Structure 1
Amino acid sequence: MITYIEELTDQEREAIREAIQLLYRQTYLLERRYDRRTEKYQYTKEYRTCSTHLEFLKDYFAVAGISLEENVHDGIIYIQGETLWGEKLPRLATVYLLILKLIYDEQMAQAASSTRIVATAGEINQKAGAFRVIKSIPSPTEMRRTIALLKKYQIVEPLDILEELNENTRMIIYPTVNLVLSGDHIRELLESFSEEENSGEETAIQNTIEDLSE
């Protein structure tokens, strides 16, 4: 590994360092993200870096007992390991994640082929209300903060300006939601995730939402 990294340029080594840090923070990288300015999907530099140096990075993470995997179909590179602890999410972001996963699965089940999955803020809040995981519609400030956080973790991409947030505000749901929530019992989990339970608790970003159902 040392020989490999020494043969790279300073710019390549810096790109690898940034990609590794991002993987440790959120455990996955998305190949393409939607650019609202061009209205097209653009390749991300971190994914391209990992793809270029994939074998080196697999060996690098293996030293720490972590596996680096690539899902070519969904365009995701991610790490897995018992020692990984994702960052914490506030309650509303956790609720939105559960709803986004439900919407994603519903739309994918109806799609004839892989397609862009889009949900509106109104649809998300309506479903959250139907499952009684929120007592009232969150304030615009809370919603903007939550959506911005999920955008940071490459789970959603707003198609409309967040400063003008309303029930018609659209957002793409990225397939990374499948990494955060891998269980098959989202509806049951939502029904058990009442407003009174776990109030104020936070949830880790990767795969630990399933623990709430235990």
Structure 2
Amino acid sequence: MVSYLEELTVTEAENLKKTIRDLFRQTCILQVKYDPVTLTPRDNPRYEICMRHRGFIEDYLSVLGCGLKHDPQEHIFRLEGEGVAAERMSMTTTLLVLLLKLIYRDKILGEGLKATVTNLAEIREYGKNTNLITRKLTAAEWKEALYLMRMHQMIDLPGAVRDVEDHTPIYIYGTVNLYCTSADIRDLVEKYREELQEEQNVQDTEEEEDFETGEEDIYPDAD
């Protein structure tokens, strides 16, 4: 492996190392990325590196218990295998990913691939309509979710996550469908609705019990 790198130019070897680091950091490499504002496509040089050095990358990853999967239909390279660190998403982030999947599906069916752009206002509206988001999310929750989705190439933003406002365009990539692919979107939505309803029922029961206890305390000598 060392000899392979030594045969490359300094620039090519460095780009290859960066591409492997990106694979471990974001788990997938897209062939084309879009500017969320202009919808202008741009080729991803990391994808070209994967194409040119696919054999070397596969050999390198196999030593670490990982594999490199190429999806020619989605035009991505994806890291997979037991050696890949599992990403643990919070409940809120998981719900937001589900909402993006719904938005992506609706836009693909209605407007096509180049129009898969959303924003925080629309995401909130979908959350309200599906009853998946029943409260106002904190800035920290939005930041965590957007950062994770951007890191894993589910979305693209025109600037930093901290600068995203209600109507800042957010481009959704087809890679959003790589998450939670073992079940149908509708089943997942229904599952989380049921869980949220159960949590609400428990909360209502606790509030009723507290209220009844309070009534007993108010009139201790009523008899």
What is the TM-score with the length of structure 1 in the denominator?
0.75
1:59 aligns with: 59
Match of 1:124 in 2: 123
1:71 paired residue number: 71
Any conservation in 2 of the 1:74–1:175 contact (CA below 8 Å)? yes
Q: Distance in 2 between matches of 1:100 and 1:93?
A: 11
Equivalent-residue separation in structure 1 for 2:60 and 2:140 (angstroms): 41
Contact 2:39 2:114 in 1 (8 A): no
Q: Secondary structure at the match of 2:153?
A: coil
Q: Indicate how the Cα distance of structure 1 residues 196 and 49 shifts in structure 2: closer, same or farther if over 3 A, else same.
A: farther
CA offset digits 1:17-38 (Å, max 9, x no partner): 2211221222111222223576
Match of 2:210 in 1: none
In the TM superposition, residue 95 of structure 1 has moved relative to its aligned partner by 1.2
Preserved contact between residue 119 and residue 173 of structure 1 (Cα < 8 Å): yes
Label 1:143 to 1:2 Cα distance change in 2 as closer, same or farther (>3 A).
closer
- Aligned-pair distance for 1:66? 2.4
List alignment gaps of at least 5 residues for structure 2.
200-223
Q: Select the structure of larger CA radius of gyration.
A: 2
Stretch deviating more after TM superposition (134-143 or 156-165):
156-165
Task: State how far apart, in whole Å, the 2-side matches of 1:175 and 1:67 are.
Answer: 21
Q: Aligned partner of 2:68: which letter?
A: L
Identity %: 29
Cα deviation, 1:94-151, whole Å, max 9, x if unaligned, reads 211111112222333445x644312232222222233333221324554345324422
Aligned length: 196
- The Cα of 1:47 is off from its aligned counterpart by 1.9
> Structure 1 residue 189: deviation in Å?
1.4
Residue 79 of structure 1: CA displacement? Answer: 1.6
Equivalent runs, 1:42-53 vs 2, <5 Å: 42-53=42-53
Instruction: Give, in whole Å, the separation in 1 of the partners of 2:119 and 2:37.
Output: 19
Pairing of 1:37-116 with structure 2 (within 5 A): 40-110=40-110, 114-116=113-115
Gap runs ≥5 in structure 1:
199-214
RMSD: 2.9
Measured in 1, the distance between the counterparts of 2:7 and 2:130 equals 55
The answer to whether the Cα contact below 8 Å between 2:50 and 2:57 also exists between their aligned partners in 1 is yes
State the SS of the aligned residue for 2:115: coil
Q: Spell out structure 1 runs of 4+ moving beyond 6 A.
A: none
More strand as a share of residues: 1
